[in-house]
Amino acid sequence: MRSGKVGDTVLLGRVLAAVAVLVTAVACGGEEAGSPPEDRTLILATTTSTQDSGLLDELLPVFTEQTGWHVKPLAVGSGQAIELGRRGEADVLLVHSPEAEEKFVAEGTAGDRRLVMHNDFVLVGPERDPAGIRGATAADAMSRIAESGAGFVSRGDESGTHAREQQLWEANGITPAGDWYRSTGQGMGATLRVAGETAAYTLTDRATYLTQRDSLALDVLAEGDRALLNIYHVIEMTTRAGDRVQTDGAAAFADWIVGERAQTIIGEFASDGETLFVPDAGKDEATLGN
């Protein structure tokens, strides 16, 4: 009887100890105080160009392997990505609309904004080139397209590409309208397909074009102009945008993508031997494209 009581006492002690551990684990969310949630998933709002080009497929698995953070990418236009950040519905942004980014950061809800990489925009169109833009500067090309009434397909989605297109029209004092100008309201891949199917011109980032060119009846007709430089930044969100923002995850991604491993992946990412992006972390932005 005595030994039974001792056994019961020991068993009871073990049960109570186990309950105490369980209660502590639940109270702490299974993590140390201040650490990410157990699933360690962050939301990345980025552009369709990083997805359509295939770059995210190269970057994100390595980031997860090295940091333990999983990423849920939302590929939208840069304007929409910034709006998601503004509403606290994304933890970190990877975008390419510098003027909009600067205005957004000035609002005070975002944290650090850092240079990541660049490529360029190109004007593409049918091989027969009805507007005669082949080899022209970006400004001349846009003027010739408008004057000729040749078809132009716009993303029309407040993306970084759409913003640059609007800047090019405005620089020429042109307000595009009429049957020759149409807007898809879609991403770069879809817009390229529409341009190819209708033998029209469009503005695209080079990376997305190169990864899809084999299926497109479109040629690069105007390129190399500094006005076509396409620069990407990473922007960390803060809890000033909303309590749901995971600042630890945002900082982890931003630090990683400007770090050596990610910059190497970006520099080596290519299609048919052509590099799609140039890694720029730590560079003077004013010197890009020179």
Task: Report if residue 179 sits inside a domain.
Answer: yes
Q: 200 and 169 share a domain?
A: yes
pTM for the predicted model, two decimal places? 0.82
User: For residues 20 and 252, which has the higher predicted lDDT (pLDDT)?
Assistant: 252
Q: What is the CATH number of the domain that holds 125?
A: 3.40.190.10
Task: Report if residue 289 sits inside a domain.
Answer: no
pLDDT value at 193 more than 60? yes
Which residues is 53 bridged to in the sheet? none
Q: 152 and 135 share a domain?
A: yes
Task: Report if residue 23 sits inside a domain.
Answer: no
Q: 88 and 167 share a domain?
A: no
Confidence of residue 255 (pLDDT cuts 50, 70, 90): very high
Rounded to whole angstroms, what are the CA distances from 107 to 103, 110, 111, 164, 234?
7, 8, 10, 22, 16
Q: Which domain holds residue 203?
A: 120-228
Task: Report if residue 273 sits inside a domain.
Answer: yes
Task: Report if residue 21 sits inside a domain.
Answer: no
The candidate with the shortest Cα–Cα distance to 47, out of 218, 210, 235, is 235
Neighbours of 275 (CB within 10 A): 16
Q: What is the pLDDT of residue 38?
A: 55
Mean pLDDT of 63-70: 97
Task: Report if residue 186 sits inside a domain.
Answer: yes
Residues contacting residue 290 through CB under 8 Å, at least 6 positions apart = none
Task: Report if residue 14 sits inside a domain.
Answer: no
Confidence of residue 271 (pLDDT cuts 50, 70, 90): confident
